[in-house]
Amino acid sequence: MEDAVKVFCGIDWSEHHHEVALVDDTGTPLAQCRITDDATGYTQLLSLLTEYGDSPAHPIPVAIETSRGLLVAALHNGHRQVFAINPLAVARYRDRHTVSRTKSDRADALALAHILRTDMHRHRPLPDDSDQAKAITVLARAQQDAVWNRQQIANQARSLLREYYPAALEAFQSRKGGLTRPDARQVLTMAPTPAQAARLTLAQLRRALTRAGRSRNIDTDAHQLHALFRTGRPRQPAPVEHAMGRQLLALLTQLDAACQATDDLTTAVDEHLRTHPDAQILLSFPGLGPQLAARILAEMGDDHTRFSDARGLKAYAGSAPITRSSGKKRYVGRRYIKNDRLCHAGHLWAFASLSASPGAKAHYQRRRDHGDWHTAAQRHLFNHFLGQLYHCLQTRQPHNEEQAFGPTP
């Protein structure tokens, strides 16, 4: 095959098999086949690409509708560009080839190949992140999902306690951590109903708090719980109360597992982040602890050529505004298409920086005085931080408060 001929590959993936299509730079289909989602199918795909000229010196670019999975890992081997095309974009490109709204896996694979043939310069390939950064991405996202899952179970337990056990909510809900606290889970497991809680002695409460890891104010809290559980309150009928207690025990079992998983993943994230070359730069920013820094790194990656300038990073995070104009009409608003995880971490980062950085606090206050609401001012502060972070990562220097915000009056 002549070296001047460019070949583009499109893959329409599914759970059990994948459709593969290859076209040349004139749009002529070269090959189409179906491969299985296993080692045999991956070997068949790589052999097909090699047959049509794929090599480390002249890799064939590949378009697919996902950025995850073993197939993407097999293709993204360091020299080949893999483009994760948004399915909504593929649906728009599909209309260029047919107006009858027909759809098939073979046609979608061809459409993906044609996207690279005509508009490859308008799409961004998967970043060339290190394996260490990919591992941090897996752990940081898992830790965030575990936190959300833990809070969801705690909310279910709270809703249940409101129906039959308000004393438990009064005892623990106002404290930091609420029902996810070890002492709250320990006491509720020992006394899942108001009747059982009213029979607890001071010695039993002290032992429960000690088993939960408490070492201070045990006597004071034990007396408070002892008095609170004996306060007269409305009660459900005994059989109903007993049934709700069994339901609470089931939720507490799930909550214990969710809390343990969150703690384990938090430790793993901290350990992996500390060994990354970008960790010290990230942790030098006000408001960024190990968990938030890991989430920022997980979504940005450590491929410092991924974004050509800070504006690309800000658009990816959703902190930069988007402008829509037509004729005399012009609208500037927030972005809806963005990396949601990075945007969520950015809002937490901006909020935490208000108490850690005088410059960030002054910047936020100027935006509020300018007329921004709280969320808009935080988004503007996050946008400012991203520009600083991009500069620090490119120049390999830590954050400097005075250079970032100027002298604070």
- Determine the Cα–Cα distance for residues 339 and 368; give it in Å rounded to an integer: 25
Of 338, 336, 361, 341, nearest in space to 351 by CA: 361
List residues bridging with 360 in a β-sheet.
Answer: none
Average pLDDT for runs of 10 along the chain of length 409: 71 91 92 92 92 88 91 85 90 79 86 92 89 94 96 96 93 90 94 93 93 90 92 90 96 96 96 95 95 95 90 91 85 84 95 93 93 93 95 93 78
Q: Identify the pLDDT of residue 4.
A: 47
Using CA atoms, how far apart are residues 71 and 242, in angstroms rounded to an integer? 51
Which pLDDT belongs to residue 2?
45
Predicted local confidence at residue 313, as pLDDT: 93
Question: Which residue in 199, 201, 205, 148 sits closest to 171, CA to CA?
Answer: 205
The three-point CA angle 75-76-81 to 5° equals 100
Residue 216, exposed/middle/buried by CB under 10 A (0-12, 13-18, 19+)?
Answer: exposed
- CA distances in angstroms from 41 to 38, 73, 119, listed in the order given: 5, 14, 28
The confidence score (pLDDT) of residue 1 equals 40
> What pLDDT is recorded for position 116?
93
Residue with tokens 């935080």: 378
User: Rounded to an integer, what is the distance from CA 163 to the centroid of its chain?
Assistant: 34
What pLDDT score does 259 carry?
96
Residue 185 neighbours by CB under 8 Å, 6+ apart: 179, 212, 252, 255, 256, 259
